[in-house]
Amino acid sequence: MRLKDFSIFVIFCLISVPAFSQYSISGYITDKVTGEPLSEVTIFEENSGESYEPNEEGYFQIANLSYGNYNLFFFALGYEITNRVIQLGSENEVLNIKL
């Protein structure tokens, strides 16, 4: 009986692992004309209402995300708003955003 209980426990744990997986969306934001990195950008994730900013090199990372769809908006003064819909599933997403 103990072996059966242990086997069921192990199977349950293996099935549950993907449900608790953590993903990230990261990348660089640059000016599409000059190629220079942009740091004065607001990244807004619509579903959570959270906003993020890149560092001086234009790099950003949004970590600890679960499986699902994410709607990102990139805002910068003097640039057109850019939107990306990301579907996280089996791996992290890396973006190169040009404003």
Residue 9 lies in a domain: no
How would you label 42-61 residue by residue, b for 16+ Cβ within 10 Å and e otherwise? ebbbeeeeeeeebeeebebe
Instruction: Determine the structural domain holding residue 47 and report its residue range.
Output: 21-98
Q: How many helical (H) and strand (E) elements, i.e. helices and strands, does the chain have?
A: 1, 7
Q: What averages of pLDDT result for each successive group of 10 residues across the chain (99 residues)?
A: 57 51 93 97 96 98 94 97 93 95
Vertex 40: Cα angle to 37 and 43 (nearest 5): 95
The CATH code of the domain that includes 40 is: 2.60.40.10
Residue 45 lies in a domain: yes
Residue 7 lies in a domain: no
Q: How many domains would you assign to the chain?
A: 1
Q: What is the pTM of this model?
A: 0.77
Residue 16 lies in a domain: no
Residue 14 lies in a domain: no
Q: Give tens-digit pLDDT for 77-89.
A: 999 999 999 999 8
Residue 4 lies in a domain: no
